[in-house]
């Protein structure tokens, strides 16, 4: 039967693409996209839909409104019956009703508003299988061009919506001659939920003891070197949507490398929540590649409900803070209705990283191993301390490389040739690299100058230091 209803609606839409069409408009109902996907239905929904007739519609003509398969008229058909019923019209108020008593004194199901129009309707028929409501233009006065009317369904009409929906208008004369058609939107779906990270973890780990942050931490809470805070918000728009899910709790998972590599450390051997490192308490996976925590339960009014996850390393100052790499957040809600008990509403949201407070220099274009071309980098280490260097790179084919080069001696200029870089990375000759140097030094202590030689000519290669990137 749904295929039949779709065919009827498709026919009406095709007809509306032809000659001048009736205008069909409404303030569309808004349903929760997640609720609809979970099989929820908006039951007994009241709605209004307006029609502007563009062509003269003679008396005794029939108007048919076709609803798609997202609308269930079964309850209305049960209330009204399957045969034609009279519409109780009141010229004084410019309305006509279908009600439980059949004379306008009972519970009203449907209301036609004619305004100051001289026309009225009668002989209404509901066909739930076809998804149609049809009625006739009363004898006496036609609907003149540019006339308008409204159809209102009350909650007592029992009309249910299971998703986004369109309604089609079609009119024909008493002999079956088509007059005009039109299509409008009756209901839409929109996402009920939202999740975003407003303040990612951004602590830069002090390079020696690695139990505190040297900078960039403490962005939301206590001003202390042992703190860093993740800020986020959740949104639940249940109050403003039909067929909405009911949220009972929320959980956020952070994926990253939370193994600090120190044998016996609470971060490796057990749940850091037991030593009070996270508020609210966080639970780690066995492999330490993710943590989860109970998030704030969002209000249902569509407002952003803010929450935080606070990392506090002051309770155990011997715990090494892990270098996490990129952290990705996901949010999952527990719900009490619908087809599933949980719903993941966001994945792979940037949640920052914890990294050593190292100097990072990038050379976005560094060709290596080309005949007749020689490239190199000169590092000036103006600190008295030697600095170790981790090198990473990508090439023109999307390959990734990593390795290390010899330490940069303190108070010295060190040349690093293309051969040394190729050997450190395992990159083949003829590679066009973007090379990044992670240097164990304070910002400003080490500076780089890169260039290429072709014959007797020399050309400087741009580095991130020259572009002002830190």
What CATH number has the domain spanning 358-461? 2.60.290.11
Please name the residue that has the structure tokens 């993710």: 290
448-463 per-position pLDDT tens digit: 999 998 877 778 887 7
User: Strands of 342-350's sheet, edge to edge?
Assistant: 282-284, 290-295, 247-255, 328-335, 342-350
- Dig out the tokens for 134 from the structure: 């049809």
What's the Cα-to-Cα distance from 133 to each of 6, 228, 286, rounded to whole Å? 15, 62, 60
Rounded Cα gap, residues 441 and 447, in angstroms: 10
Q: Which residues contact 66 (CB under 8 A, 6 or more apart)?
A: 5, 8, 9, 12, 130, 131, 132, 167, 168, 170
Domain extents in the chain: 2-190, 193-355, 358-461
Question: What's residue 278's pLDDT?
Answer: 87
Q: What is the DSSP string of 272-321?
A: GGGGT-EES-EEE-TTSSEEEEEEPPPPSSS-EEEEEEEEE-TT-TTSPP
User: Using one digit for the tens of pLDDT, what is the confidence trace for 42-67?
Assistant: 999 999 999 999 999 999 999 999 99
Contact between 242 and 202 (Cβ < 8 Å): no
Burial 249-279 (b: 16+ CB within 10 A, else e): ebbbbbbbbbbbeeeebbbbeeebbebebbe
Q: Give the 3-state secondary structure of residue 152.
A: strand
pLDDT value at position 221? 56
* Full pLDDT tens readout for the chain, 470 residues: 454 455 445 555 444 444 458 999 999 999 999 999 999 999 999 999 999 999 999 999 999 999 999 999 999 999 999 999 999 999 899 999 999 999 999 999 999 999 887 899 999 999 999 999 999 999 889 999 999 999 999 999 999 999 999 999 999 999 999 999 999 999 999 999 999 999 999 988 887 778 888 865 555 555 577 888 999 999 999 999 999 999 999 999 999 988 877 655 545 444 444 345 888 988 888 888 899 999 999 999 999 999 999 888 877 767 788 888 899 999 999 999 989 999 999 999 999 999 888 888 999 999 999 999 999 999 999 999 999 999 999 999 999 999 999 999 999 999 999 999 999 999 999 999 999 998 988 878 999 999 998 877 778 887 776 444 44
Distances in Å between the alpha carbon of 150 and those of 23, 95, 187?
Answer: 12, 9, 16
Q: Residue 64 and residue 1: Cα distance in Å, rounded?
A: 18
Separation CA 5–CA 78 (nearest Å): 19
User: The tokens of 437 are what?
Assistant: 């140097």
What would the two tokens of residue 450 be? 């890169």
How many other CB atoms sit within 10 Å of the CB of residue 4?
12
Alpha carbon distance 55, 58 (integer Å):
9
Residue written as tokens 């949640």? 351
The pLDDT of residue 162 is 98
- Write down the pLDDT at residue 331: 99
Task: Give the Cα separation of 13 and 19 in Å (integer).
Answer: 12
CA distances from 311 to 259, 351, 398 (A): 15, 14, 35
| CB proximity list for 334: less than 8 A, separation 6 or greater | 247, 248, 249, 250, 251, 341, 342
Contacts 24+ apart (CB under 8 A), 374-377: 374/417, 374/418, 374/452, 374/453, 374/454, 375/418, 375/450, 375/451, 375/452, 375/453, 375/461, 376/415, 376/416, 376/417, 376/418, 376/450, 376/451, 377/415, 377/416, 377/421, 377/437, 377/448, 377/449, 377/450
Predicted confidence at residue 3, as pLDDT, reads 47
CATH, domain range 193-355: 2.60.40
pTM: 0.78
| CA-wise closest residue to 265 among 205, 329, 210 | 210
């Amino acid at each position: 039967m749904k295929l039949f209803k779709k065919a009827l609606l498709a026919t009406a839409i095709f007809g509306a693409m032809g000659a001048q069409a009736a205008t069909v408009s409404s303030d569309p109902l808004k349903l929760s996209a997640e609720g609809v996907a979970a099989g929820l239905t908006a039951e007994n929904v009241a709605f209004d839909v307006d029609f502007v007739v563009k062509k003269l519609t003679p008396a005794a003509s029939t108007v048919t409104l076709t609803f798609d398969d997202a609308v269930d008229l079964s309850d209305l058909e049960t209330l009204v019956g399957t045969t034609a019923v009279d519409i109780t019209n009141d010229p004084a108020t410019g309305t006509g009703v279908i009600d439980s008593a059949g004379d306008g004194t009972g519970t009203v199901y449907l209301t036609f508003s004619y305004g100051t129009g001289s026309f009225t309707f009668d002989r209404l028929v509901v066909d739930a299988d076809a998804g149609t409501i049809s009625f006739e233009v009363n004898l006496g006065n036609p609907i003149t061009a540019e006339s308008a009317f409204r159809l209102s369904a009350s909650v007592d009409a029992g009309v249910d919506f299971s998703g986004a929906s369109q309604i089609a208008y079609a009119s024909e004369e008493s002999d079956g001659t088509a007059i005009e058609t039109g299509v409008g939107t009756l209901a839409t779906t929109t996402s009920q939920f939202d999740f975003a990270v407003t303040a990612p973890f951004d602590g830069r780990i002090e390079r020696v003891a690695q139990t505190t942050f040297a900078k960039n931490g403490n962005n939301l809470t206590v001003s202390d070197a042992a703190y860093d805070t993740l800020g986020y918000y959740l949104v639940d728009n249940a109050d403003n949507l039909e067929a909405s899910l009911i949220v009972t709790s929320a959980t956020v998972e952070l994926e990253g490398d939370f193994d600090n590599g120190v044998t016996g450390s609470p971060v490796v051997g057990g749940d850091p929540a037991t030593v009070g490192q996270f508020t609210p308490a966080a639970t780690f996976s066995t492999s330490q590649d993710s943590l989860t925590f109970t998030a704030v339960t969002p209000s249902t009014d569509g407002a952003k409900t803010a929450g935080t996850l606070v990392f506090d390393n002051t309770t155990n100052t011997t715990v090494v803070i892990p270098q996490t790499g990129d952290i990705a957040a996901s949010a999952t809600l527990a719900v009490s209705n619908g087809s599933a008990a949980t719903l993941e509403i966001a994945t792979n949201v940037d949640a920052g990283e914890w990294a050593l407070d190292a100097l990072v220099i990038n050379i976005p274009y560094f060709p290596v191993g080309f005949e007749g071309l020689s490239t190199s980098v000169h590092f000036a280490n103006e600190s008295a301390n030697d600095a170790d260097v981790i090198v990473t790179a990508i090439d023109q084919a999307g390959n990734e490389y990593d390795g290390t080069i010899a330490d940069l001696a303190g108070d010295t200029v060190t040349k690093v040739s293309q051969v040394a870089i190729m050997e450190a990375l395992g990159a083949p000759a003829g590679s066009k690299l973007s090379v990044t140097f992670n240097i164990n030094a304070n910002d400003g202590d080490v500076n780089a100058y890169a260039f290429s030689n072709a014959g007797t000519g020399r050309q400087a290669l741009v580095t991130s230091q020259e572009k002002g990137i830190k």
